[in-house]
Amino acid sequence: MKLTREYVLEQLEQHAEELRAFGVTRIGLFGSVARGEASEDSDLDFVIELKEYTSDAFFDTAFFLEDLFGCKVDIGTIRSIRPELKDQILSEAVYAETI
């Protein structure tokens, strides 16, 4: 199934409570799906902010998102984005509003 930006953001909003339970304080979609350039094989790229930056919070969030969307998910934190990519990623990221 080809995922759209609207669908992904809608699902994030609908599952905001679960994401907050993992410690997610902000989540943004970037990459091909955010730009409307996704193909059937596209993965999802997210940038997240966490209440506490622990491996459990990070991996629990990643596994939850993979189960939710049924595809490969790449997530990064604001802190982990490579400096040379940070401006581009943050400028194209679209954020779920209720998280």
Annotated active-site residue 41? The verdict is no
Cβ neighbours of residue 28 closer than 8 Å, sequence gap 6 or more: 46, 47, 48, 90, 93, 94, 95, 96
Annotated active-site residue 74? The verdict is no
Catalytic residue among 43, 60, 67, 87: 43
Instruction: Catalogue the active-site residues.
Output: 43, 45
